[in-house]
Structure 1
């Protein structure tokens, strides 16, 4: 995947240029970015591409958000069936 395909609007690139950007802003930008990907694009592949290109600082809030996205992408959702799945608590 090319960087242009991974970040078509340059949202991730620009987020790394914003001084003092916080977690909340990065999460909002991440959502806009995810919605701007092509329908057939693999989000995990796109996240890896932008992290490789821009994520030199692993402590940057956008690097953290992207890394969390990759972690959650790989974690399989689990659902408890039967009575345990219907119980609230």
Structure 2
């Protein structure tokens, strides 16, 4: 995958250039990136491409940690309440 497809607006690239950026700002930028990812682009594949592009040069950058966390599977969806929850 070309880097232009993985980061079409360049927000991840720019986050690596921001001096003193922290994890909260990186998470916000990541969310913006995820929402703005074009239809048809596999987010997991894009994340792997972004890590290949940026992680080696900046292994301790907070965006690198956010991108790696994005590759992990999220929590399992489960029912939390409602009528069924009250009857169980």
Shorter chain as denominator, the TM-score bin is: 0.7 to 0.9
**Equivalence for 2:51:** 51
**Equivalence for 2:85:** 86
Q: Are 1:23 and 2:23 matched, yes or no?
A: yes
**Equivalence for 1:67:** 68
Gap runs ≥5 in structure 1: none
Per-residue displacement from partner, 1:13-65 (whole Å, max 9, x unpaired)?
11001111001100110011111211111000001101100112222100000
Gap runs ≥5 in structure 2: none
Per-residue displacement from partner, 1:51-80 (whole Å, max 9, x unpaired)?
100112222100000000101xx3561537
Q: Are 1:36 and 2:36 matched, yes or no?
A: yes
Query: Normalising to structure 1: TM-score of the pair?
Result: 0.80
**Number of aligned pairs?**
82
Aligned mates of 2:43, 2:10 — CA distance in 1: 15
Stretches of 4+ moved more than 6 A in 1? none
Query: Normalising to structure 2: TM-score of the pair?
Result: 0.81
